[in-house]
Amino acid sequence: MIFILEIIGTIAFAFSGCMVANSKRMDVFGVWVLGTVTAVGGGALRDVLLGQFPPNMFRNGVYVAIATATVVFWLWMAARKGALPRRHFHQLAWLMDIFDSIGLGVFAVVGSRTAIDCGYGDNWFLVIFVGVLTGVGGGLMRDVMANMMPVIFRKRVYASAALAGSGIYVILLSWSSEVWAVSAGVVTVFFIRTMASLRRWDLPVYVLEPEDQE
């Protein structure tokens, strides 16, 4: 089950990178780099933090291959279609947002699971931090490479959803089965992200500014 969800998340994150590259009008190499980095970047950051060398993306090429296949499909669709009606484009973006929410939940849980497997199960702070980093790391690298303010700092409680899902997973794992813990963690992230998109939830923004002089 985890592997299938990981594949869904990889495809969704790769599409997310392609859409950002599309908005920046990058060439085909730029689309491939951004799509692949978004899909596997979080896992690479996780492995570096946990001292797993080389990172899994280099030891198990299936994820890079799936990300590359997703990018190729995107490029084929863009070259064939050229343009989409605005309504269809928004529908595609909404569909990608749904899959992105699933991917975020999956990678947050998988990141925490990896930290536990590395022997850090007693350190909840590290386990949850690694889970969040795995979930948001690829998108963070994508936005930095695209010269954008990272999404996790400005909209739709993205990192907070990963934090909640990873925390639920770690808590439930201590007294329930792996399947229930994984399911609850992924569903928590998906619910928060979906509601945030539908209700346009954002975390509060407080800005300190100088008073206007009389």
Question: Per residue in 1-34, pLDDT tens?
Answer: 678 878 888 998 999 899 899 989 999 999 999 9
Question: Per residue in 171-206, pLDDT tens?
Answer: 999 888 888 999 999 999 999 999 988 888 888 888
At 38, the pLDDT band (50, 70, 90 cuts) reads very high
In the prediction, which pLDDT does 214 show?
Answer: 55
> Is residue 84 over pLDDT 90?
no
pTM: 0.90
Query: Which contiguous run of DSSP H or E holds residue 154?
Result: none
Contacts of 42 (CB under 8 A, 6+ apart): 13, 107, 111, 133, 134, 135, 136, 137, 138, 139
User: What's the chain's average pLDDT?
Assistant: 90
Secondary structure (3-state) at 61:
coil
Q: Six-digit token pair at 197?
A: 């998109």
CA distances (Å), 200 to each of 33, 102, 155, 192, 194, in order? 30, 18, 9, 11, 9
